[in-house]
Structure formats: C-alpha cells, structure tokens
Amino acid sequence: MIGYHYTTYSNYLQIKKKGLEPYHINKIELTRIGIKQVNGIWLFARRQKRRKLVGTLFWQVGTKNKLKIVELRCKICKFTLLKGPRNEDLNITHKGNLNEFKYHFKELSRITITKIPKENIELLCIYDFTELVDQQQRKYVI
C-alpha cells in the first residue's frame, strides 16, 4: 500500500537516516470518530496535485515555519493502519483550508501507527520557496 507524506526538508534529512517515526496526532477528524489522540504518521491516500498540493505545501510552511518542503512516497503494510473504534479499517476524510482558501474537501487520508523504514520511503520532490522567489526576482531585476 502507498501513502504520501509532506514534511520539511530538515525533517527529511533525519527521515533519510532513521526512517519515519510515529508522532503525536490530535486532529478534529479523529475526535469526530471517538479518537482523541494517537501516535502515528499521517499519509494522504493520493499524491496531491494543483490546488490540493498548494494548500498542503502552504500548510506545512505556515505550521512548521520552514520554506523547504518535501513530498515523500511511503510504502506501508495495510495491517499497520490505525483501526476504528470497532476494529474496522479507518479511512479518514480530511477538510483543509487556510482562512478562506479551501484546498481539501473529503480528502482521503490514513494513519499508520508503526515506523516506516527508510528503505520504504522515496523522495519525490523538494519544494524550495526561497529558491522560487529568488528565481522570480532575478527575472525582473533591471
């Protein structure tokens, strides 16, 4: 099973050495189904594109205070996924917005509760907003 994870480049440097460790997750999507908090790894079921990708990247920049974000493809075992209160497979639908900018509506996500080994993680892309801005400024310097 494949999931997509977005994080900072500095986090990725640690992930590249040690794998992706579960972390504290406390989201409203979980409290609605009776789970207050969990240690796990948030994964999107599908690779984010266009508006969804922009929102995901901006959320990372805004919450992590870093301008270099990575996109990772993670291979996981279905049996490591968080289960619901009745031990059912848990598919989390996520809504995402930054003020009035809505970028996710019922976006399918999952949480794995075990470490993802570094061998099961592939770097897909590095989004460096500093580099992007610098390139644009150079284009318009007279």
Angle at 122 between CA 2 and CA 60, to 5 degrees: 85
Higher pLDDT, 130 or 72: 72
For 36, the token pair is 């207050």
CB < 8 Å & 24+ apart, contacts of 76-80: 76/1, 76/2, 76/3, 76/43, 76/112, 76/116, 76/120, 77/1, 78/1, 80/112, 80/113, 80/114
| Res 44 pLDDT > 70 | yes
Tens-place pLDDT, residues 53-100: 888 898 888 888 899 999 999 999 989 998 877 888 787 777 766 677
What pLDDT score was predicted for residue 135?
Answer: 65
Enclosing domain of residue 22? 2-139
Q: How many residues does the chain have?
A: 142
Span 20-44, average pLDDT: 84
Contact 96, 55 (CB under 8 A): yes
Q: Could you tell me what percent of the chain has a pLDDT over 90?
A: 46
**Among the listed ranges 8-17, 18-27, 70-79, 125-134, which one has the minimum average pLDDT value?**
125-134
Confidence of residue 139 (pLDDT cuts 50, 70, 90): low
Work out how many domains the chain is built from and give that number: 1
What pLDDT score was predicted for residue 107?
Answer: 78
Q: Which of 46-55, 62-71, 117-126 has the highest mean pLDDT?
A: 117-126
End-to-end CA, the chain = 51
The three-state secondary structure class of 37 is: coil
- Which of 23, 57, 63 shows the shortest CA–CA distance to 42? 23
What pLDDT score was predicted for residue 127?
Answer: 93
